Amino acid sequence: MLNRMALLLLRQVSDKTVTNPFPVQAMPDSLTDALQAAQNGEIELNPAVETGERFRGRLNYDKSACIGCKLCIKVCPANATEYLPDEKKIQIHNDRCCFCAQCTEICPVKCLTMSSEYLISSYDRKAQVTTDTGKPEAKPGAAGEPKIKTVYRIMSDKCIGCTKCARNCPVGCISGKVKEPHVIDESACIGCGKCAESCPKGAVEAVEIDVPADGK
């Protein structure tokens, strides 16, 4: 067994690499001097690499829009999102993120979006934690084009008025009296699904509605 392993190691050492080595000949003698020359306009640097429309870079997080529903934490396969109970918000560990974008898809208020930033390496571990990046820039789109919004409705014939949906709604858009059918304000519903999860009778269903592009 040992002889076989030794032969494999010797073969790996003796085999010629099939990949091209780093082009040392093209490197400047001094990187600082090269950057200074580029700043003075003496040499030209290659432009930054353009990213595609569906490129997944560092996560943007709009803290002011976050409602602390923790749905992003439930779907994250890499434990990259952490809940802060004192603030009822989250923070993102970019060094754990696998860029699957599941959090952006499930977020009911769209406070999580994928950016085009890909240069995210750092020697500082704290720099890899995102607490707030503010509101992302709006992407251009067709003016007046309607959007599809997922909201929830309560089926009055099944609702028993237990109030569980209203107590679990993070935005308080459900109204109704005890032992009477409840109603969801669809204009205020964020589509988080908390009401459907808590309903013991399955009286809440998801529906899609058209809303104007301006959200009004």
Q: Indicate which CATH number applies to the domain containing 112.
A: 3.30.70.3270
36 lies in a domain? no
E-strand spans in the chain? 59-61, 81-84, 89-93, 112-114, 129-130, 147-154, 174-175, 183-184, 204-211
Answer whether residue 15 shows pLDDT above 90. no
pLDDT tens-digit profile of 155-165?
999 999 999 99
Report the pLDDT averaged over residues 49-54: 79
Tell me whether residue 121 is in a domain: yes
**Residue 195 belongs to domain spanning:** 147-211
Question: What pTM did the predictor assign?
Answer: 0.57
5 found inside a domain: no
Q: Specify whether the backbone of 15 is left (phi greater than 0), alpha (psi in -120 to 50) or beta.
A: beta
Same domain? For 155 and 122 the reply is: no
Please tell me whether residues 198 and 151 are part of one structural domain.
yes
- Same domain for 112 and 85? yes
Q: pLDDT tens digit string along 53-66?
A: 888 889 999 999 89
Comparing 13 with 109, the larger pLDDT belongs to 109
Number of domains in the chain: 2
Residue 194 inside a domain? The answer is yes
Q: What is the pLDDT of residue 3?
A: 72
CATH number reported for the structural domain that contains residue 207 in this entry: 3.30.70.20
